[in-house]
């Protein structure tokens, strides 16, 4: 597996937490008047981190497990907006979210460290994407991480505009 990707996955929890902690107090549940140009899902800062946690656990942990245990499994997308409503992301505690996410990412990295060539080549079918092997799933996870770092930066830009120009 590409070491650059694995290093990015390893560094991501601290980067996500640092970006989240840059959100000014009181803006954890702030939403802009327009989501035009947002590089991630349309989630407030607290919703961004809850979504990343749940995609790690309910998405990628399950996808990797199924890729190893099943023959060419169909991997459905998660409905992030449904999860946000059902799990009450707006009431989440960031400390709890980050504790769960750090543990989940450590579990992901531990699992990936056990994979050999044959595991990384196992095929799946990812909804809306098509055929992708486990190595491709790792790249998609890393891409998802980057989207949410960009989403938090985009929100910081919009918050700055809100605070400066009201």
Conformation bin of residue 94: beta by default, left when phi > 0, alpha when psi is -120 to 50: alpha
Please give the CATH number for the structural domain made up of 3-30+39-165.
Answer: 1.20.120.450
- At 166 the pLDDT is 66
Q: Which residue positions in the chain have pLDDT lower than 70?
A: 166
- At 19 the pLDDT is 97
CA distance 164 to 156: 12
- At 84 the pLDDT is 98
107 contacts 161 by C-beta, under 8 angstroms: no
- At 2 the pLDDT is 85
Q: For 143-156, give one letter per residue: b (16+ CB within 10 A) or e.
A: ebbeebbebbebbb
**CB < 8 Å & 24+ apart, contacts of 113-122:** 115/1, 119/68, 120/1, 122/67, 122/68
In whole angstroms, what separates CA 100 from the centre of its chain? Answer: 13
């Amino acid at each position: 597996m590409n070491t650059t990707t694995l290093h990015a996955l390893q560094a991501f929890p601290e980067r996500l937490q640092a970006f989240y902690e840059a959100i000014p107090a009181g803006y954890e549940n702030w939403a802009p008047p327009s989501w035009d140009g947002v590089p991630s899902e349309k989630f407030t800062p607290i919703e961004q981190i809850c979504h990343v946690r749940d995609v790690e656990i309910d998405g990628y942990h399950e996808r990797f497990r199924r890729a190893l245990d099943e023959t060419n499994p169909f991997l459905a997308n998660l409905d992030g907006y449904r999860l946000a409503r059902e799990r009450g992301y707006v009431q989440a505690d960031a400390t709890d979210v980050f504790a769960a996410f750090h543990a989940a990412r450590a579990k992901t990295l531990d699992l990936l460290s056990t994979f050999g060539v044959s595991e990384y080549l196992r095929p799946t079918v990812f909804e809306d994407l098509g055929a992708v092997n486990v190595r491709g799933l790792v790249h998609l996870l890393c891409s998802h991480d980057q989207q949410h770092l960009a989403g938090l930066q985009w929100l910081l830009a919009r918050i700055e505009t809100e605070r400066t120009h009201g």
